[in-house]
Structures are given as C-alpha cells and as structure tokens.
Amino acid sequence: MVITFAVTLVVGIMLHLKSHGLLIQPRDVLKIVHWIFGYAMTVLLIIHWSQFRNMLNALKNRFRWFYADTWLLIVLFIATLLTGTVKLLSPVKIPHLGLWHYWMGLAMGVAAIIHLVRGLPSWNRMRKSGRK
C-alpha cells in the first residue's frame, strides 16, 4: 500500500506542475499511471481497513491522536477519491475540481505519513509480542 500511495502522490504532484508552467511528458501516460495506482491503493486500503478496524476501535481511548488521524485520513481519502472519480468520469470540465482534488490529495498525504509514523511502532510491538 505504501508503494501505491507514494507513486500516486508523486505522479499527482507531477501532473499538477502543469498549472505552474512545467509540463512533464508523456502526460497521458502519467495520468493513466496516476489512475491505476490510485485505484489499486483504494483496493489495498479497503483490505487494510477490514484487517485493522476492530483493533483501531479497541485502541481509540488509549491512542486518541492515532484514532483521530486515522479518521481524518479516511475522510480525506474518500474526498480525494470522489473528486478524482468525478474529474475522471465527468464529460465536462468542472472549474477548480482538479485543484480541490490536488489539495485534498496533499492533505491526505500528510495524514497518511502521520498515520504511518504513528502506527508502525505500535504494529511492530504488537507483531513481536504475538511471536512470544
């Protein structure tokens, strides 16, 4: 999931650079890569959520910041997914939708990095204690 997230984020930033006058080619290929990795990340995220949702609910009182960041990440992910899907499927260009998608994607990226930094040590401790 981390790889699909990183590729989607980096390619999304590369696509956004067009609005700053920097056109990276082949743009159509970058768009396809962004879509494929974005939707692959969606599938992996659903699997991840189904595996860890019970644990997250059990830990919500003990790890409030992690719980809050996870829910913020979920909301931002859904908003980014919806704006990207509407942008992809809309037959007409909707003003500023791409910019909304970009900013929500960046905010989601920050929340995902925080989620990863806070979650990996706990997951690692849990994994090690399970081996004993």
List, for residues 6-19, the tens digit of each pLDDT value: 999 999 999 999 88
- Contact assessment for residue 98 and residue 87, using Cβ atoms and an 8 Å cutoff: yes
Q: Transcribe 87-126 into DSSP letters.
A: HHH-SSPPTTHHHHHHHHHHHHHHHHHHHHHHHHHHHHHH
Q: Is residue 30, in this structure, part of any structural domain at all?
A: no
pLDDT at 59 over 90: no
Is the residue at 109 inside a domain? yes
* pTM for this prediction: 0.86
In a domain, 4, yes or no: no
Is 11 domain-assigned? no
Give me the mean pLDDT over the 46-57 stretch.
90
Domain that holds residue 66: 39-131
Q: How many structural domains is the chain composed of?
A: 1
